[in-house]
Structure 1
Amino acid sequence: MSPPDPVLAAGCVLWRPAVSGHGIEIALVHRPKWDDWSHPKGKRKRGETAEECAVREVLEETGRRCELGPRLPTVHYTVDGRPKEVAYWSARALDGGFVPTREIDALVWLPPATARHRLTQPRDRELLDMALPTLHP
């Protein structure tokens, strides 16, 4: 029996220039189903490219349009016994506004060090570390 096909997903390390005018802030979303803080991401739809999925998921989860930046490493892990592959980009937040949903009930913008501490999964902290050199206000 062959292993199951991986769930394909995409997301972004979303950033904006800090409101203070000094440095940048990272967007983190809270998912009540898992009670975790993560980068915006989600499953790809049939016929959707990874890039299209990443932009759509950022909009759906944060209410913000975004401009994709450099590609980041693809993250591999298992959910409920099924492999998952999430393609990531760094992305600059553009216009829009957050509205809570059942899937995402909170959005925070934090300085990178605070965001790193708030992230639930070590893989998300590693991704943030890899993204930081690519983020320029």
Structure 2
Amino acid sequence: MTGEPVRAAGCVLWRRNKDDGTVEICLVHRPRYDDWSLPKGKLKQGESLLEAALREVLEETGHTCAPGPRLATTHYTAKGRPKEVTYWSAEATGGTFTRNKEVDRVAWLPPDQAESRLSHPQDRPLIRALVTASGQGR
């Protein structure tokens, strides 16, 4: 990989199931790529990593959130360019998903199911990091 990496940010968005209090992770389905991923996106000019992460969660999931611990930064190649994405844990605080041009579905899943459904292996450790950082059980 050569050149400056594309910088992006996102969140492992979570909530408590209303029925039993267990943790659920929000995954987004992007029809353009036909994949399941965590909400994330590129930084806009002058935007901090955390600002971008919270904006992307709102744009892609329709949810507001309260950021928690910074989890990790993933590194990979996208469209022939290096890309780095910094993630935070974030608890959903409200909102409703509406299908949009980037995301056609969301799924709220227990951590183990979310980890299995993710399309990109580099995202899977982020689920484990959330569980560890927040002390949330599977």
Q: Please say whether Structure 1 and Structure 2 have the same fold, judged by a TM-score greater than 0.5.
A: yes
Q: Distance in 2 between matches of 1:121 and 1:80?
A: 15
User: Deviation of residue 15 (structure 1)?
Assistant: 0.2
Structure 1's unaligned 5+ residue stretches are none
Report the counterpart of residue 110 of structure 1 in structure 2.
109
Q: Distance in 1 between matches of 2:92 and 2:135?
A: 12
Deviation at 1:136, TM superposition (A): 5.3
Q: What is the rounded CA distance, in whole Å, between the counterparts of 1:122 and 1:133 in structure 2?
A: 18
Q: Which runs of 4+ in 1 moved over 4 A?
A: none
Report 1:1-137 matches (<5 A): 3-135=2-134
TM-score under structure 2 normalisation? 0.94
Q: CA RMSD in A?
A: 1.4
Q: How many angstroms apart in 2 are the aligned matches of 1:20 and 1:120?
A: 28
Structure-1-length-normalised TM-score: 0.94
User: Structure 1 residue 18: deviation in Å?
Assistant: 1.3
SS at match of 1:84: strand
The secondary structure found in structure 1 opposite 2:92 is: strand
